[in-house]
Structure 1
Amino acid sequence: MTQQRGSSQVSLAVVGGLVETGQVQEPFRLVDADGATVGPVAVFFRELEAANRSPATIRSYGMDLLRWFRFLWTVGIAWDRATSVEARDFARWLRLGDGVHQPYSASVRAHSETVLRGFYAFHLEEGLGPVLNPFPLDRARRGRRAHAHHNPMDPHREERVGRYRPVVASRIPRSVPDEEFNEIFARLPSDRDRALVAFYVSTGARASELLSVRQGGVDPGRQLITVVRKGTGASQQLPASTDAFVWLRLYQAHMEGLVPAGREEPLWWTIRRPARPLTYHGVHRMFERVNARAGTRATLHSLRHTAAYRMAEDPTLPLTDVQAVLGHAQLSTTQIYLTPRKEDVIRRVLDHYAEQSRQAAERTVPPPAPGYRPETLDVLFGGVAR
């Protein structure tokens, strides 16, 4: 019998949590209200680790699983007894909220559906979960062969869509306009921060990747730095601007004798004493403070988008080179930076209108036909020169 449960009637109990362990073998652990490890999630996390997923990815998956398990604990359903009824109600809860928790965005809901469907698919394959996946595929598509009748010249589309997966509108990556970037850069408080931002906007490295640089990974002579890629964990040399290395040298001169020296020592350190290796949280807070002073809303990741747009707009730079520098596995991912930015479209269209007005003002209009008074036509057409 189908259970009737309105999503507005479910208010999640804030129990359990996602615990960061500090251990390489088990970076995160999902625990219940008693602090006990949730076994099915622990097994799934081990699968993710074996598949070379990063701790950041495991944490992201863990937050989705925490919301789901809190929902199940609240409605009193065991994880392996959940059906599509619970999945449906959970999807509605994410979409509508309950008056205490705000509705979640479409992108968060889509990520959650993908993670939970994968979680149950893993346990089904291992013979450890329910007989049916509570997060099924869309009825209209689950019987079709993926990519059937697909033109190989067209990009692949995701044909096997989850039933409760929302449609996520494609978004143009947000870059930082030149005027806004100049305002931000002028308010950076130290040579270290100027060096960081200059490297971010010239290499396109992710925030965590730039912080992975070691002192031995800097090659000013060839204008290269070596980062550890977020997805693969592989080292890669990235070219950077001359300005970035100038600011880096000023920062290094200021920190000389204050931080350990050595090829394997971190490149980036806190300014405050005692100096400690700079973390993502530290550089994120720095950029938030600068945004507040500049009255802007840029993010660290938008600097990566800015670098990508600047490289993609250079006609002398092949898009495959941009792909390699950004570390994209697919060229189609890099191609999104060929999409015109909103501010550039507005500027060019306004320039177009201004040029039309200028040409109209300079255009010589033939004399009016007999019987028309010139002064009347001047009033009608705005005094166009004749």
Structure 2
Amino acid sequence: MVEGAVPSLPWMVVDAANREIEAVSRYLRDLYLGDVSPLTCRSYGHDLLRWFRLLWSVDVGWQQATEAEVATLVGWLRTARNPQRQRHREGGYAAGSVNPKTGKPTLAAGYAPATIAHNLSVVHGFYAFHRHFGLGPLVNPVPESKSRRAALAHTSPIERPRPFRRARLRPKVQPRQPRAIPDPQWAELFAQMRCVRDQALLACYVSSGARATELLGIQLSDIDWTTGRLWVISKGTRLRQAVPTSPEALAYLAGYLDQAGLPEPGEPVWRTRRGPARPLSYWAARRILQRAADQLGANWTLHDLRHTAATRMARDQALTLVEVQTILRHAHITTTALYTAVGLDDLLDKLAEHYQRPSEPARWSQSYDADDISAVFGD
């Protein structure tokens, strides 16, 4: 993957001889002209690069690919080790194990089912695009699910969605569950922040529910000190939208700006602390949280802060679910409803009381004869 040479193609895929793969570039250019973000083009490009590497290894042209090559891709993804999962810290937990402190599983050593499903969707879209122009095989090599297409063709919001079977070679993708940080662990995590900047960053995250990259991009003009709002560029619509923030977070933010100084016009608020002032990148903010989590033996991530804010709002009886949907900027209220689910960690106190409570003896209505009850159920 390399950066594109023209504005209409932010990323492109090249082969081992550094030659551009024109078929992929045409597809990515069409996606970008369809108003997807450059990061989406980059993600699709990586999936297509994986596909073309497979075709090169079996010496099959992309126009001659069949379902057999797709099955080979799925089989390799299901058995190969993901290079991104091979990082190992001394004393760290094994890949795929559950962190005993947070109850949150670590990433498995291989490729996740969602990654395999995404790769198949990208390859399917690549061949559907070229078939539209009369190129490539007449039959898409990625199998489709006719029952899924029929179930999603005409849907009503007041009817239950019809079940459908997965297409062949598609993995089972479990829906993501919210992973909010419990209040005691949140207090421990916040206490690990080393400076006012990090405290302000976490306080803004957990009170606004903004996504990681959205909050990192705010400028001084995006802070409304009077009404307690931050203006962020939303991930989905790429519109500048307002998100709330708490007075406590604004106090931390004011303390950070007083200590670090005001940024230049047009520069982000969050900056590095060492060396020349530079915008704080996503990876630097991620590392801030990782250092603090490692000290606590936890595995919380930046996106868990958004889950924490969403869960707190969804369980507040003073806020309706539609209001929480507006704050989080969810397209569908069913996504917001996921945060109302009660997890096992929330039931530990009630379960402890349940286990300590003595079992009550069975009582029968006086209308039943005692001998009949004894004959049916025993003494």
Answer yes or no: same fold by TM over 0.5.
yes
Confirm or deny: 8 A CA contact 1:184 1:290 kept in the other structure. yes
Q: 1:291 Cα shift?
A: 1.3
Which sections of structure 1, spanning at least 5 residues, go unmatched?
1-17, 361-386
Confirm or deny: 8 A CA contact 1:172 1:341 kept in the other structure. no
The equivalences for 1:163-178 within 5 A come to 163-178=168-183
The equivalences for 1:129-208 within 5 A come to 129-138=136-145, 141=147, 145-147=150-152, 152-154=157-159, 156=161, 159=164, 161-208=166-213
Structure 2 counterpart of 1:34: 17
Confirm or deny: 8 A CA contact 1:44 1:119 kept in the other structure. yes
Q: TM-score, normalised by structure 1?
A: 0.81
Aligned partner of residue 145 in structure 1, secondary structure? helix
Distance (whole Å) between structure 2 residues aligned to residue 99 and residue 236 of structure 1: 37
The change in CA–CA distance for 1:111 and 1:274 in structure 2 (over 3 A counts) is same
Structure 2 counterpart of 1:62: 45
Which of residues 104, 123, 140 in structure 2 aligns to 1:116? 123
Distance (whole Å) between structure 2 residues aligned to residue 99 and residue 269 of structure 1: 32
The change in CA–CA distance for 1:23 and 1:286 in structure 2 (over 3 A counts) is farther
- CA deviations on 1:63-95 (whole Å, 9 max, x unpaired) are 211111111111111111100111112111111
Which of residues 226, 233, 238 in structure 1 aligns to 2:231? 226
Distance (whole Å) between structure 2 residues aligned to residue 127 and residue 22 of structure 1: 27
Aligned residues: 336
Root-mean-square deviation (CA, aligned residues, Å) is 2.5
Confirm or deny: 8 A CA contact 2:151 2:161 kept in the other structure. no
Letter in 2 for 1:243: E
Distance (whole Å) between structure 2 residues aligned to residue 315 and residue 145 of structure 1: 39
The change in CA–CA distance for 1:155 and 1:290 in structure 2 (over 3 A counts) is farther
Structure 2 counterpart of 1:8: none
Structure 2 counterpart of 1:352: 354
Distance (whole Å) between structure 2 residues aligned to residue 141 and residue 130 of structure 1: 23
Structure 1 counterpart of 2:276: 274
- CA deviations on 1:286-313 (whole Å, 9 max, x unpaired) are 1111111222110000000010000000
The equivalences for 1:220-299 within 5 A come to 220-256=225-261, 260-262=263-265, 264-299=266-301
Which of residues 60, 68, 78 in structure 1 aligns to 2:61? 78
Confirm or deny: 8 A CA contact 2:81 2:111 kept in the other structure. no
Letter in 1 for 2:147: R
Letter in 2 for 1:116: V
Structure 2 counterpart of 1:107: 114
Aligned partner of residue 221 in structure 1, secondary structure? coil
The change in CA–CA distance for 1:115 and 1:341 in structure 2 (over 3 A counts) is same
The percent of aligned pairs where both chains have the same amino acid is 41
- CA deviations on 1:299-330 (whole Å, 9 max, x unpaired) are 00000001000000011111111111112111
Q: 1:230 Cα shift?
A: 1.0
Are 2:59 and 1:52 equivalent residues in the alignment?
A: no
The change in CA–CA distance for 1:182 and 1:99 in structure 2 (over 3 A counts) is closer
Q: 1:21 Cα shift?
A: 4.8
Confirm or deny: 8 A CA contact 1:203 1:307 kept in the other structure. yes
The change in CA–CA distance for 1:98 and 1:109 in structure 2 (over 3 A counts) is same
Distance (whole Å) between structure 2 residues aligned to residue 128 and residue 251 of structure 1: 57
Which of residues 333, 336, 341 in structure 2 aligns to 1:334? 336
The change in CA–CA distance for 1:241 and 1:118 in structure 2 (over 3 A counts) is same
Larger mean Cα displacement after TM superposition, 190-199 or 98-107: 98-107
Larger Cα Rg: Structure 1 or Structure 2? 1
Distance (whole Å) between structure 1 residues aligned to residue 155 and residue 252 of structure 2: 50
